[in-house]
Structure 1
């Protein structure tokens, strides 16, 4: 197989070739390396491609048998592999714990061949760090991939692997998916275990999962990674059937809430609003009932929750630094994260109770506001991918923590609110700007009901297919000078 053929397959398709004996896992890993060597110097999405990538193990009969996979450089861990969290503080650090997530990945046949870039501690909506540099969007190298799973989304969009690990604590899977033109799902709280060491991280706001290119890969990934483990804080309702089987089921009639107005300080770009209008009309044509929905929360309350969670992280960062013999200072942390750390370590213990209560209140208020709907349609981001730099970067020393937090969430507040509520939410690459940039739209389901989301996503993918839209920077293709 040539690299130009490899990039046309999704993960499910590649696994079928392996099970049929037409390709081997080692051959696919070689193709992933070739793709990496072609495009990564331009986009800087993968910060390490493993030297032993062609020999890493995995099941030969799983849903993703032999498929190359990438790990985001924070969150779920591979024992013995570097995990630096985009930070000089953790440069050279190798955890000893193997996450349940990567145990399941191997059992499904995925071969993890490297790790992708993330902003320091996943704390920004742009993937730019002092340690690893700037990750560029394969649709336009002058624009951001988003964050914090920016390296993962860029690598999948550019064809290095068809699927990659991501994590989402405030939009960190869905924002990069929207800006890089791929599919990204943040599952329900409790659907994917963070064990054995990160169960229910950040009061359940942060969840591990993947970015990919097709809805069937997303369904298969849910079958692979979901399910309870010992020590999980609660057991979420389990699906009636495998998620892949949901793709052959009827969607039925749904009540759809449509967000045509801004949910934060930033107005929706006219092209984004047009994409929402068009998709809402399409859902009506499919037989669903469509009703407008107003913002169900206060933006300032959302940013206060995120600041509170950051405050609570200061003590754990102290402990982690001591455990590896490092000092927290301007030489090890980027300016905004250093300010956040100093703010958090000086906050009273009451911040724990205040943050917990604010989360509880928002879950209740938003839950009541959206209860009348089976799904909700919103923008993923208020705009298409923005240019690099600015107030959004952790390296901008002139920015206050309050200014940074407001800037970081103002264009994607409709993403972060569903981290708080715990509802499943998915970004789909349903539109494109006049300048050729992807526009992602978000569909949100009831808590624990990924099945309905998958059926709606399948319907939208069939009606508005996005598979033929590929970026200028793509493995196996002539690389355009964007």
Structure 2
């Protein structure tokens, strides 16, 4: 098959640039879809990031309602196999229990994505129900990091992160309940924005307010792709249970201007959890780089009871996931999770959380409240908090202590172990504040290390402005211009 573009040319374009070429008549949406499908065929055998390719959407980009006149003009787009559903398509959530689960309707956000001109061409991997840190269960699939396939992509937006990093698509769907957009963006060298609570709708499912922590979004390789995605897909469905933020101007316009000088706080220790010295030194190096862009940078920390915050967050995840699993069991007429179909830690989470009382949830929400207000007070003085994305190096494939196939008998100990590595991302979910991972640093072994910027509620535009300023300063060369070992341009 003759492809419309060379792989170097393909990888050089972001989604906005590809859409512009379609609008000019230089390429067609079908040609873009064919190139993306060829990219999947080229790299996925090494990475295992794609569950299914929709051949009919490759053959006919407008078939499922993608608005080919939308801002993305039929751009091929991969959907994480969790969250928004696609009518008539399987959604199996990384679980043997959910094999054959087929959606009967598009969710509201799916329709927004199609209206934006995204051609949804396939499903990407996720850990079972999105619970753990990596899509790494040999009974289902093992998703590998394109920079070094001995390592994990982390998660839970595992396959989407791998496919964007490997150059298959410029942008893909991701979700974030505690860092699941930002962590895989950080370890795969992508851009990952977790928007504020009240930007993307979960309709007709639980709203962000009732679900409390889970946010939709994307992985990308350019700031403007993320900005255009948010501009096109944000907004409430009818009758939302919570308020939605609006932006005074589209982010795609805002990012053309640098922000004014910002007060940026650096932090590499949150409560009991501290980054390794090498990771802390990378954060400091990025801080000095930002000083060179005219920002004021110093070490500072919100005055939070971190131990209480992490305990409340653990209560939230255990009780939320127990309800999710319980609903799936009820739909199948099951009393308990079958041990041969549900991973052991998820069974323990269900057991630990299914009888959580309203009083326990109320205490949890009281801590969420005080934590959120402490961040709010901090942001009266500071514009941005900068942290590493992870506190520890990226795990190798098969590091079961972070996985829901772990044999750890204690759910609390298992979550505590997660926080030791992934301490810096979940409080943004708890507080509903925006946070972005930018590919600005490296681990000692050369794997990417994301640096996270967080801002006050609804200040998503400021994060994108700062990201765009940095992108211009590095000449568009994220990851110091390096590409992963497994990439469409290789071999």
Q: Shorter-chain TM-score category?
A: over 0.9
Provide the residue aligned with 1:137 in structure 2.
145
Provide the residue aligned with 2:251 in structure 1.
243
Provide the residue aligned with 1:362 in structure 2.
371
Superimposed CA distance per residue, residues 338-373 of structure 1 (whole angstroms, 9 cap, x where no aligned partner): 001011124444322222222222212332234311
Provide the residue aligned with 2:384 in structure 1.
375
Task: Map 1:72-91 to 2 at 5 A.
Answer: 72-91=80-99
Provide the residue aligned with 2:436 in structure 1.
426
Structure 1 residue 307 displacement after superposition: 2.9
Superimposed CA distance per residue, residues 376-418 of structure 1 (whole angstroms, 9 cap, x where no aligned partner): 1111112342212231011012342111101112222111111
The yes-or-no answer on 1:262 pairing with 2:269 is yes
What TM-score comes out, normalization by structure 2 length?
A: 0.93
Give the secondary-structure state (helix, strand or coil) at the position aligned to 2:269.
coil
Once residues 148 and 302 of structure 2 are traced to their aligned partners in structure 1, the CA distance between those partners, rounded to angstroms, is 32
Distance 1:312 1:476, change over 3 A: closer
Quick check: 1:77–1:83 contact (8 Å CA) kept in 2? yes
Give the secondary-structure state (helix, strand or coil) at the position aligned to 2:51.
strand
Distance 1:202 1:430, change over 3 A: farther
Provide the residue aligned with 2:101 in structure 1.
93
43, 46, 51: which one pairs with 2:47?
Answer: 43
Provide the residue aligned with 2:308 in structure 1.
301
Quick check: 1:32–1:160 contact (8 Å CA) kept in 2? yes
Quick check: 1:188–1:423 contact (8 Å CA) kept in 2? yes
Question: Which sections of structure 1, spanning at least 5 residues, go unmatched?
Answer: none
Distance 1:125 1:365, change over 3 A: same
Structure 1 residue 334 displacement after superposition: 0.2
Once residues 130 and 365 of structure 1 are traced to their aligned partners in structure 2, the CA distance between those partners, rounded to angstroms, is 42
Provide the residue aligned with 1:385 in structure 2.
394
Count of residues in correspondence between the two structures:
477
Structure 1 residue 290 displacement after superposition: 1.9
Once residues 438 and 464 of structure 2 are traced to their aligned partners in structure 1, the CA distance between those partners, rounded to angstroms, is 11
The yes-or-no answer on 1:127 pairing with 2:127 is no
Using the TM superposition, name which of 346-355 and 277-286 deviates more.
Answer: 346-355
394, 412, 429: which one pairs with 2:422?
Answer: 412
The yes-or-no answer on 1:151 pairing with 2:159 is yes
Give the secondary-structure state (helix, strand or coil) at the position aligned to 1:460.
helix
The yes-or-no answer on 1:290 pairing with 2:297 is yes
452, 457, 463: which one pairs with 1:453?
Answer: 463
Provide the residue aligned with 1:474 in structure 2.
487
Structure 1 residue 312 displacement after superposition: 4.1
Provide the residue aligned with 2:283 in structure 1.
276
Distance 1:454 1:163, change over 3 A: same
The yes-or-no answer on 1:178 pairing with 2:182 is no
Superimposed CA distance per residue, residues 285-318 of structure 1 (whole angstroms, 9 cap, x where no aligned partner): 2222223113543443233223322224424432
4+ residue runs over 6 A deviation:
none
Superimposed CA distance per residue, residues 33-77 of structure 1 (whole angstroms, 9 cap, x where no aligned partner): 111111101111111111213124211222111211011111111
Provide the residue aligned with 1:114 in structure 2.
122
Quick check: 1:378–1:442 contact (8 Å CA) kept in 2? yes
Quick check: 1:122–1:148 contact (8 Å CA) kept in 2? yes
The yes-or-no answer on 1:67 pairing with 2:75 is yes
Quick check: 2:33–2:61 contact (8 Å CA) kept in 1? no
Quick check: 1:179–1:384 contact (8 Å CA) kept in 2? no
Once residues 273 and 324 of structure 2 are traced to their aligned partners in structure 1, the CA distance between those partners, rounded to angstroms, is 33
Give the secondary-structure state (helix, strand or coil) at the position aligned to 2:122.
strand
Once residues 393 and 487 of structure 2 are traced to their aligned partners in structure 1, the CA distance between those partners, rounded to angstroms, is 20
Give the secondary-structure state (helix, strand or coil) at the position aligned to 2:103.
coil
Once residues 227 and 349 of structure 1 are traced to their aligned partners in structure 2, the CA distance between those partners, rounded to angstroms, is 30
Superimposed CA distance per residue, residues 399-449 of structure 1 (whole angstroms, 9 cap, x where no aligned partner): 421111011122221111111111110000012234321111011122101
Give the secondary-structure state (helix, strand or coil) at the position aligned to 2:478.
coil
Using the TM superposition, name which of 235-244 and 171-180 deviates more.
Answer: 235-244
Once residues 76 and 392 of structure 2 are traced to their aligned partners in structure 1, the CA distance between those partners, rounded to angstroms, is 31
324, 328, 339: which one pairs with 1:330?
Answer: 339
Structure 1 residue 264 displacement after superposition: 5.0
Give the secondary-structure state (helix, strand or coil) at the position aligned to 2:275.
coil
Superimposed CA distance per residue, residues 227-274 of structure 1 (whole angstroms, 9 cap, x where no aligned partner): 222122233331111111012224112221111x32154432333222
Quick check: 2:438–2:450 contact (8 Å CA) kept in 1? yes
Quick check: 2:393–2:443 contact (8 Å CA) kept in 1? yes
Superimposed CA distance per residue, residues 190-225 of structure 1 (whole angstroms, 9 cap, x where no aligned partner): 011111223216543110000000111111111111
What TM-score comes out, normalization by structure 1 length?
A: 0.94
Give the secondary-structure state (helix, strand or coil) at the position aligned to 1:273.
helix
Distance 1:308 1:434, change over 3 A: closer
11, 16, 19: which one pairs with 1:7?
Answer: 11
The yes-or-no answer on 1:32 pairing with 2:41 is no
